[in-house]
Amino acid sequence: MKNILVLCTGNSCRSQIAEGYLRHFANNKANVYSAGIETHGVNPKAIQVMAEDGIDISKHTSNNIDEYMDIPFDFVITVCDNAKENCPYFPTKAQRFHQNFPDPAKATGDLNGVMNEFRSVRNMIKAYSESFITEHLS
């Protein structure tokens, strides 16, 4: 069983969405975790847009990278430039991957516009996650 860690700044949106999709597409072929270099709590809008696509992340928690130091990860994926550049030293032999996604939590405007930004980022992460699992776990 492979271990996958997804990292972003606050473990509230992008990494949570990626964790949900990677778990979905891995279909019990991997243990998937997400963490941040900080913890900001799981964003309710991320939970909402994932539910719209049939993925329940409502029980996810916002975790700090330090909580996972003892897990032998096979893959570490950073989903924002800030996490890639500021992640503390993480002792692992894992293959590292990076894909920067826009931060939907920074979207401004009316609620409809903000939710559309969350959906747009969700769809980008979904495509990346499906491709990642196909390439690395199939």
Is 87 among the catalytic positions?
yes
Write out the DSSP string of 54-92: T---TT----BGGGGTTS--SEEEE-SHHHHHHPPP---
Single out the catalytic residue among 7, 8, 13, 76: 8
> Measured between alpha carbons, how far is 136 from 19 in angstroms, rounded to an integer?
15
Single out the catalytic residue among 79, 87, 105, 125: 87
Is 13 among the catalytic positions?
no
Single out the catalytic residue among 80, 83, 94, 133: 80
- Give the single-character DSSP code of 6: E
Question: Catalytic site residues?
Answer: 8, 80, 87
